[in-house]
Amino acid sequence: METTLILFKPDALHRGLAGRILSRFEEKGLQIVGLKLLTMSQEMAAQHYAEHVGKPFYDGLVGFMTSSPIIALALRGPGAIHVARSLMGKTFGNEAEPGTIRGDFGNSRSYNLIHGSDSAESATRELGIFFPEGLQEWTPITAPWLWDAE
């Protein structure tokens, strides 16, 4: 079982796509174990995007991500990181495949609707930033049919 962080960026909220995007993850069988609406602080953004400090896009990215509310979502399931990233599609909406979130809802190189952890290590670090209080532990009654679990 794996847990990943997904961020619904300001453009997803301003465009009214949060429910449609969330439903993609739920319909695929990923379990919600954390969900909150928040405005990312400068400190959170600096922590989350630390590997991008000094890059030409850093200031614009931080400005965008702190400009209005986002949704932080923790999802769990077998291979959750790979599954979520497959649902998201390529980084840029104008290059993403139809049927993916970015392919269906995005057409921009700057505004790509969502962020998803790219590895187990990143997920652990990122979940700690957005869910320092921990995640909700529960087992869906549908787990045996979704995950081949007993």
* Secondary structure class of 83 (helix, strand, coil): helix
Q: How far is CA 70 from CA 2, 11, 14, 107, 130, in A?
A: 23, 9, 10, 20, 11
Please give the Cα distance from 126 to 138 (Å, whole number). 21
Active site members: 115
Neighbours of 133 (CB within 10 A): 7
Q: Please choose, from the candidates 99, 101, 76, the residue with its C-alpha nearest in 3D space to the C-alpha of residue 88.
A: 101
Tokens found for residue 7 = 């961020």
Angle at 13 between CA 95 and CA 20, to 5 degrees: 70
